[in-house]
Amino acid sequence: MTLMDKFAAHRQRQRELGEAGADPTHVVMERMLSATEAVIGGRRTLLAGTNNYLGLTFDPECIAAGQEALEQFGTGTTGSRMANGNYRGHELLERELADFYGYPYAVVFSTGYSANLGALTALLEPGDCVLLDADAHASLYDGCRMTGAEVYRFRHNDPESLEKRLRRLGDRASRTLVVTEGLFSVLGDKAPLAEMVEIKDRYGAYLFVDEAHSLGVYGERGRGVAEEDGVLDRVDFIVGTFSKSLGATGGYCVSRHDALALFRFASRPYIFTASPCPSVVATTRVALRLVRERPEIRERLWDNARALHRGLGDLGLVLGATVSPVVAVRFDEKERALATWRTLLESGIYTNLMMPPASPDGSSLLRCSASAGHTPEQIQIIVEGFRRAVAVTDEPPGG
């Protein structure tokens, strides 16, 4: 047994993907043509799996703000917020995020992953409890387990399962953080936040919601599922990312609790990492303003999401019941998912291939995400591409 033996299973998986001619870890975007098109393998490719929900990555205002910040503030901060890396843009972005949510406190992190790690490790310590949705993102699992708190899972999106476990914790409920997501990123289903808020309030627990995939997508003002469900004033902590709807990188936590202001002293992923680049902060600030000022972008996203879900559903493909910008096509067999993914890519359509153990319910799936940047014609091309790819992979070998 050597240090390297642990990689045997990964090596085997990599070999299998290579032999199937479908290794998603080696897809390279050689050039980006727009928010919805790239050059992959020398071929113009329509992007149907990017999380670029609002299509803002090529917005002229965002690009101009980034260019101006590059010239005024340079390429990077070369330090953490606690040292030399605290710039005017970081402070302004935090104020704008707090104002956007109507909360008094906001903290910006360098990535969405570190926002979850940073917020959870500041909030929790040994002796505390976490009730975690079973399908929660890896960053939430990792953050919870790093804290030494006792972590219990409840059934995905099941308020009854949550309540049973809160009841079993008895007096410890007041030291319990319930952790879930607004929109779940793989299957595109929404958490029942209104019911969960009722339950956590009844037991005196706290609720932490990751709105990474729902910022800019749900709610009248784009503030996520908590806004859509009318519980923004009762959720305790919201985290999110700049790398989906806002088209940049970075993450944040907002709250109505003043403890959030103290995260700057208690959160190691905040303290011991370089702060976000000034140009990234500048494009994020503009994108956040556009979420507020241009609700028509969100409407276009939803038109495309409905059209994509309807089009793929009409092909007889197995989809999630919830219509959302995330549309996951399920396959019973891993080999068929691989073959369909590869056929789509060869025909110039990029989707996300997900297989166990990365998929939440053990199935293999092709995950698509609609973007406001897609034209109605592009949505039709994606649907037609699926029709052809599924027909090809349905054929018997040699047939």
Q: Under 8 Å CB-to-CB from 136, ≥6 apart: which residues? A: 179, 180, 181, 210
Give, in order, the Cα–Cα distances in Å from 322 to each of 74, 257, 312, 314, 383. Answer: 44, 32, 13, 15, 18
Nearest-approach distance from CB 362 to other proteins, in angstroms = 5
How far is residue 236's CA from residue 258's CA, in Å, rounded to a whole number? Answer: 11
Interaction of residue 94 with other proteins, rule CB under 8 A: no
Phi, psi of 14 (to 5 degrees): -65, -40
**Binding residues for other proteins, total number by CB under 8 A:** 18
Residues 133 to 162 in contact with other proteins, rule: CB under 8 A:
134, 145, 150-155, 161
Of 276, 298, 285, 304, the C-alpha closest to 246 is 285
Residue 213 is a catalytic residue: yes
Nearest-approach distance from CB 155 to other proteins, in angstroms = 6
Interaction of residue 302 with other proteins, rule CB under 8 A: no
Amino acid at the residue 305: A
CB of 86 or CB of 161, closer to other proteins: 161
Nearest-approach distance from CB 103 to other proteins, in angstroms = 30
CB of 42 or CB of 362, closer to other proteins: 362
CB of 189 or CB of 227, closer to other proteins: 189
Contact, 167 vs 204, CB < 8 A?
Answer: no
CB of 154 or CB of 242, closer to other proteins: 154
Residue 363 is a catalytic residue: no
Among 13, 26, 88, 164, binds other proteins (CB under 8 A): 164
Judged by CB under 8 A, the stretch of 183-191, 269-277, 286-294, 354-362 that binds other proteins is 354-362
Q: Which residue among 137, 213, 309, 374 is the active-site one? A: 213
Nearest-approach distance from CB 25 to other proteins, in angstroms = 21
Q: Which residue among 139, 185, 364, 371 is the active-site one? A: 185
Nearest-approach distance from CB 168 to other proteins, in angstroms = 5
Q: Which residue among 244, 275, 309, 371 is the active-site one? A: 244
Tokens, residue 320: 């999630």
Interaction of residue 13 with other proteins, rule CB under 8 A: no
Phi, psi of 223 (to 5 degrees): -90, 5
Contact, 315 vs 387, CB < 8 A?
Answer: yes
Q: Under 8 Å CB-to-CB from 363, ≥6 apart: which residues? A: 330, 331, 332, 356
Give, in order, the Cα–Cα distances in Å from 275 to each of 51, 76, 347. Answer: 23, 8, 40
Nearest-approach distance from CB 162 to other proteins, in angstroms = 11
**Paired residues of 43 in beta bridges:** 40
Interaction of residue 165 with other proteins, rule CB under 8 A: yes
CB of 118 or CB of 360, closer to other proteins: 360
CB of 120 or CB of 235, closer to other proteins: 120
Q: Under 8 Å CB-to-CB from 73, ≥6 apart: which residues? A: 87, 89, 278, 279
Residue 185 is a catalytic residue: yes
CB of 47 or CB of 353, closer to other proteins: 353
From residue 99 to residue 138, what is the string marking binding to other proteins with x (rule CB under 8 A)?
Answer: -----------------------------------x----
CB of 60 or CB of 357, closer to other proteins: 357
Contact, 236 vs 257, CB < 8 A?
Answer: yes
Contact, 360 vs 326, CB < 8 A?
Answer: no
Strands of the sheet containing 43-47, edge to edge, are: 29-32, 37-40, 43-47, 349-350
Phi, psi of 39 (to 5 degrees): -100, 120
Among 295, 356, 375, 376, binds other proteins (CB under 8 A): 356
Among 61, 314, 335, 361, binds other proteins (CB under 8 A): 361
DSSP at 321 = S
Nearest-approach distance from CB 11 to other proteins, in angstroms = 19
Nearest-approach distance from CB 152 to other proteins, in angstroms = 5
Interaction of residue 360 with other proteins, rule CB under 8 A: yes
Contact, 292 vs 54, CB < 8 A?
Answer: no
Q: Which residues bind other proteins (CB under 8 A)?
A: 134, 145, 150-155, 161, 164-165, 168-169, 356-357, 360-362
Catalytic positions, written as ranges? 185, 213, 244
